[in-house]
Structure 1
Amino acid sequence: MLGCCGLCRSNDKDFDFFYFVQQWPGAYCDANKHHCCYPKSGKPAADFGIHGLWPNYEDGSYPSNCDTDNSFDESEIQDLEGKLIREWPSLSCPSSDGLKFWSHEWNKHGTCSESFLNQRGYFQAALNLKEKTNLLQTLRDAGIEPNDEFYNLEDVKQAIQEGTGYEPWIECNQDEEGNSQLYQVYMCVDTSGKNLIQCPVRPRGNCASKIQFPSF
């Protein structure tokens, strides 16, 4: 799984906004055929999965690992685990139950949001944002399907902007044939973790003008 963009500032708890990042599993597995493993619960649904909720600064850098005394505690999210397994699955190898992935995300990123969100609140905020953005349905409403077809990058962006009210940033990767694929969608969120906002800064683009939406 990729980390967040920009330069890291360790142990700095102040931040300006979140990147909320969702990942398309078909693109992850196409680009990592030998490093893609389904969770122990089985193949995830053909839907965007949460990658993370990452505090960032408006200059493009970000805080990380802000509180080593508040490491991941599974007991804090036990009532959310069913939803996390479905909505925030790990595709890395070896196959896992997701705890290592969620632990990494909390320890690296979530601890930097503690002034606004405790551990349970952090994971609940991400689940709420996934439901609010509803990316797959938003794209399907615009006739953009995960069917291995190629779509104009600007059409993908426009569909998400019309569906959510805010412009996304699209990250692409490449499959074994070198095709540019829809991989991750970044939306920006205020420091409460509740409200989408216009992005103050965006990572560098890496998509072709036409991108594939691979099946899964």
Structure 2
Amino acid sequence: MHRSGLVVFSLIASAYPVAAGLYPGITATNHTCALSEPVLSCSDQAVPGEVDTCCVETFGGLILQTQFWSVFTGLESEGQLLPANDWTIHGLWPDFCNGSFTQYCDLSRQYDPKPAPNTTDGTPTGTPVPPYTGPSIESLFAEYGKGDLLAYMNKYWINQFDKNWLLWAHEFSKHATCFSTFQKECFAFQGPKASEFDDLFYFFETVIGYYKVHPTWGWLSAADIRPSNTTSYSFSDIQAALTTGYGVTPFIGCGGPRFNETEAGKGSLDNGGTQLNEMWYYYHVFGGAQRQQGVRLPADVAAGSVTTCAKAPGAIWYYERAPGSEAGSETGDC
């Protein structure tokens, strides 16, 4: 499930002009975050000018760790497979504190060949996002000694119908550039030893860190909710299992036919989706997202919505992966 590109800027965010690096004039020195107080994002103290924006998230303070449940990749013949007994990574998103969002905040770091939306505000009159036409970012991993990171991402961060790296490039370009703590200037403090792509690698590592502490498969499995082509489930049971695991209620996404478009739901007013396919876990974070410390937030409090799924008993299908679409059978490291 993808969100509309239409955005509404929060009052706090709109008070500061958006440009490359989010905050024009930021220096590339003296961002030693160990010396900074880890102020909670979206709090009254998380304001540019009062904190180091490289060390405290001040632009997109409502953080979402998002995951997919896909049943095939479309590139199985090329060896692009899904991990057994695991959901896959979608991304890490920095929404504004009111739940609205923007995207593609720094076009100097645009690596997405297929930008969606293709303007920065999602409207026809917005600033165009030029498609990236350079080499695959996948080639950077070996060059900068990140082969282990590449291997993990190719196992758990899986695209559908396109090469994996296109999803990674999309997530970085659209979302990472809208974190104050992933501004390019925040990584220049490493001096001559800094990699030109430290922001890229640190973002990917941060996304993985969040993914590994949200074992969606395990939380569902513990409640005897497992992929099946013959057994359907109720939203209330899925929500209860995930709330038990996460501690608060995440957003649960469903696609596929709407329940009232199915034979079982004919005549019903329930127009929720019937195929489980996505999960969003909400946070406010202490300091920057890189610290991976924060306050877990219920989806209804964070964004006002808890699901796009049908609520009727037994209306949701959590389908098995297609034959030949999974790699191995061991449980992933989540």
Name the TM-score, length of structure 2 as normaliser: 0.55
Give the superposition deviation at 1:89: 0.6
Corresponding residue for 1:211?
A: 316
Gaps of 5+ in 1: 30-35
Matching residue's letter, 2:83: A
Corresponding residue for 1:182?
A: 276
- What CA distance in whole angstroms lies between the structure 2 residues aligned with 1:215 and 1:172? 15
Matched, 1:57 2:123: no
- What CA distance in whole angstroms lies between the structure 2 residues aligned with 1:70 and 1:138? 36
Question: What secondary structure does 2:280 align onto?
Answer: strand
Corresponding residue for 2:188?
A: none
Matching residue's letter, 2:244: E
Give the superposition deviation at 1:8: 2.6
Corresponding residue for 1:151?
A: 233
Give the superposition deviation at 1:158: 1.4
Q: Which has the higher strand share?
A: 1
Matched, 1:111 2:148: no
Question: What secondary structure does 1:215 align onto?
Answer: coil
Corresponding residue for 2:125?
A: none
CA separation of 1:165/1:205 partners in 2, compared to 1, >3 Å: closer, same or farther?
Answer: closer
Matching residue's letter, 2:222: D
Give the superposition deviation at 1:175: 5.3
- What CA distance in whole angstroms lies between the structure 1 residues aligned with 2:88 and 2:152? 11
**Which stretch of the first structure deviates more once superposed, 122-131 or 135-144?**
122-131
Matched, 1:171 2:265: no
**1:92-149 deviations in whole A, cap 9, x for unaligned?**
x2x42x1111111111111111425732222112111121011101110111001132
Give the superposition deviation at 1:38: 2.8
Q: How many residues align?
A: 204
- What CA distance in whole angstroms lies between the structure 1 residues aligned with 2:5 and 2:236? 24
- What CA distance in whole angstroms lies between the structure 2 residues aligned with 1:126 and 1:41? 23
Corresponding residue for 1:81?
A: 150
Corresponding residue for 2:31?
A: none
**Which stretch of the first structure deviates more once superposed, 123-132 or 186-195?**
186-195
Corresponding residue for 2:296?
A: 197
Task: Check conservation: 1:58, 1:201, Cα contact below 8 A.
Answer: no
Equivalent position to 1:99, from 165, 180, 191? 165
Name the TM-score, length of structure 1 as normaliser: 0.82
Corresponding residue for 2:80?
A: 42
Task: Give RMSD over aligned pairs.
Answer: 2.7
**1:28-78 deviations in whole A, cap 9, x for unaligned?**
x5xxxxxx5136333212421111111102323102111111234552684
Matching residue's letter, 2:152: K
- What CA distance in whole angstroms lies between the structure 2 residues aligned with 1:99 and 1:42? 11
Comparing both chains, which one has the higher relative contact order based on Cα–Cα distances under 8 Å and sequence gaps of 6 or more? Answer: 1
Matched, 1:127 2:208: yes
Task: Return the index of the structure with the highest Cα Rg.
Answer: 2
Question: What secondary structure does 2:303 align onto?
Answer: coil
Task: Check conservation: 1:9, 1:64, Cα contact below 8 A.
Answer: no
Give the superposition deviation at 1:196: 5.4
Question: What secondary structure does 1:167 align onto?
Answer: coil
Matching residue's letter, 2:97: E
Task: Check conservation: 2:65, 2:93, Cα contact below 8 A.
Answer: yes
Question: What secondary structure does 2:253 align onto?
Answer: strand
**Which stretch of the first structure deviates more once superposed, 177-186 or 10-19?**
10-19
Q: Which runs of 4+ in 1 moved over 4 A?
A: 9-13, 175-179
Matching residue's letter, 1:207: C
**Which stretch of the first structure deviates more once superposed, 164-173 or 2-11?**
2-11
Question: What secondary structure does 2:107 align onto?
Answer: coil
CA separation of 1:9/1:115 partners in 2, compared to 1, >3 Å: closer, same or farther?
Answer: farther
Corresponding residue for 1:32?
A: none
- What CA distance in whole angstroms lies between the structure 1 residues aligned with 2:245 and 2:307? 21
CA separation of 1:16/1:87 partners in 2, compared to 1, >3 Å: closer, same or farther?
Answer: same
